[in-house]
Amino acid sequence: MEFSLIDTTIQQFDGDCVVVFSNSEVANDDSNIQQLIELNHFESKSGTTLLLNLVAGFKAKQVIVVGMDKAPNTAKNYTKALSAVSGVLDSLKSKSVMIQALDVDGFDESWVHRTGARVLQNATYEIQKLGADKVDRVLENIAFQSDNDNAHELAQGHAIADGMALTRHLGDLPSNICTPSYLAQTAQELADEFNLECEVLEEADMSTLGMGSLLSVSKGSIEAPKLISLSYQGNGNAKPIVLVGKGVTFDSGGISLKPGVGMDEMKYDMCGAASVLGTMRAIAQIQPAINLTIVVPAVENMPAHNASKPGDVVTSMSGQTIEILNTDAEGRLILCDALTYVEKFNPEVVIDTATLTGAVIVALGKHHCGLMANDQDLADDILAAGKTSLDTAWQLPLDDEYDELLKSNFADMGNIGGREACTVTAACFLARYAKDYRWAHLDIAGTAWVSGAKKGATGRPVPLLTQYILNQIN
């Protein structure tokens, strides 16, 4: 699907379909549209739609009126309206569609175009059942009404949606296919497509580096661990932004076995890895003047005769020792070695993203990512990027009092700190390995996927991370 800008009136567009917002001048002033709205008793609630055919005065065969509530138009209502429109378009056989221009409170036209392209492209994602033929979509072009001929923002929105699609696809794949080796293969394919630098460390390489914490998680699985790095260079020798993504391709909990109900969703425990791969894809397509490196520690956590046991003590790459009190708190065990490893890149900042704790879902539900950082300016930049991208985060504390809960009688630290403030103590654990650079942690356990009838990966936080990266250029 392609996106474009077009300088014409809604009435004069000679494609198949036009989209009109219910509180716009067209909906209010065009007598034919207004009469049909009243005749159909259409209520202008956010996200409601009305399909009209062969409206007098319109060249397009079909007109979709979409509810927006009363002005001012909010960003959330705008994206909700576009999501509703995409559902209607799925049922139509239209090849070309025009979206009416709209002012969104607090945002400029560039944001409207970038976000519109992202939302509509992301809406085309479909979970691909294994063995099923891919469905070809009829819709070929969506044009946004504008007197601006710069389509750069549309291309950015499309690229972000493509990154989200990769993230969602990887998350939705079953864990017998999306293994650590599969993630490594995906990274290599991105490197080949976009001329990126890719390196994959094997188990022996990690053992040589002293990554005893990471390797303690993978040793109960037949799947070999991988440490994947992928680099995009768009700004010479400038320090890179480094993203680290947790890649537990299936998390059984290990010896601290999880309950059986819902365990199938633990294939999503690699969504941190998927999100940084998706972000790299988006950035590689946009090609901004910035340097970006992603690092993915990829493992499978399984119970076996040789798996780690509660009470075991392991030594991380940093030399710090860890008492494994719960083998289901494994994400931090692979991330800590990755956070030590990324020092080699001399990073400007490091942001890790991980489905780390169920506690963050209790705290924030499915709406915000949990954010903790050792640098407030970095935290503020991430929060701002979340508001712009509508992929929001909420900051939680990272105080010394919480760090004290990690004390161990038998090692430098335990890998859990008890029931209280689990999300915060998990971040405190990681902070011990990120003292030499500016660092932030995103806990996406509540936002990376949804359950129930619409079960599937969401593609978050690709929009947030991409927006943060683009903001660093200006």
Torsion angles phi and psi, residue 356, rounded to 5:
-90, -40
Q: Evaluate the omega torsion of the peptide bond into residue 310 and state whether it is cis, within 30 degrees of 0.
A: no
Strands 96-99 and 141-145: parallel
Burial 437-461 (b: 16+ CB within 10 A, else e): bbbbbbbbbbbbbeeeeeebbbbbb
Interatomic CA distance for residues 21 and 169, integer angstroms: 32
Rounded distance, CA 434 to CA 36, Å?
A: 61
* Cβ density class 374-395: b for 16+ within 10 Å, e for less: beeebbebbbebbebbbbbbeb
Closest CA to 463 of 137, 121, 126: 121
> 50 vs 11, 190, 274, 312, CA distance in Å?
17, 41, 37, 62
Helix axes 75-91, 109-122, angle to 10 degrees: 40
- Taking a C-beta distance cutoff of 8 angstroms, is the pair 81, 67 a contact? yes
* 273, containing H or E segment: helix 271-286
DSSP category for residue 405: G
Cα separation, 341 vs 365, in Å, equals 32
Set 258, 366, 387, 438: catalytic member: 258
The answer, yes or no, to whether the previous bond of 461 is cis (omega within 30 of 0) is yes
C-alpha closest to that of 407 among 397, 416, 398, 399: 416
For the chain, what is the radius of gyration of the CA atoms?
A: 24
Catalytic residue (choose from 226, 332, 432, 460): 332
For 200, the token pair is: 């994959």
In angstroms, what CA-CA distances link 467 with 147, 157, 191, 290, 385?
25, 10, 22, 13, 5
CA 334 to mean position of chain CA atoms: 20
281 flagged as catalytic? no
Respond yes or no: is residue 332 known to be catalytic. yes
Residues annotated as part of the active site: 258, 332
